[in-house]
């Protein structure tokens, strides 16, 4: 059985991981610009481009051009992965 002090540290570590994970999941996806340009929500297969809004990366790292055709859901999933790595709070879907 684990000692009480180690148990508390283990529980705190697990709680901190859960909070960090929850924080990374709160990435806003902004589609208004895309919708205004195209007249509908993003969908379908195309070359998707995104802007990642983050105060912790250089300006050149804010733009994400995936460089291959894929569905919107695939592209958004990839953009969310990169946004988490770059600590971005918002993803803008570019028209």
Query: Is 44 within a domain?
Result: yes
**pTM of the entire predicted model:** 0.69
57 close to 87: Cβ distance less than 8 angstroms: yes
26 close to 66: Cβ distance less than 8 angstroms: no
Query: Is 31 within a domain?
Result: yes
Domain span including residue 65: 27-93
Number of separate domains in the chain: 1
Of the candidates 71, 91, 69, the one whose C-alpha atom is nearest the C-alpha of residue 25 is: 91
Tens-level pLDDT at each residue, the chain (95 residues): 555 554 444 444 444 444 444 444 589 999 999 999 999 999 999 999 999 998 887 766 689 999 999 999 999 999 999 999 999 999 999 99
């Amino acid at each position: 059985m684990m000692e009480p002090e180690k148990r508390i540290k283990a529980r705190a570590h697990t709680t901190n991981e859960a909070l960090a994970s929850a924080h990374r999941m709160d990435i806003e996806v902004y589609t208004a610009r895309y919708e205004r340009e195209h007249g509908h929500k993003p969908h379908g297969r195309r070359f998707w481009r995104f802007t990642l809004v983050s105060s912790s990366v250089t300006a050149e790292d804010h733009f994400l051009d995936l460089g291959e055709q894929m569905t919107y859901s695939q592209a958004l999933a990839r953009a969310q992965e990169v946004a988490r790595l770059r600590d971005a709070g918002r993803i803008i879907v570019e028209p």
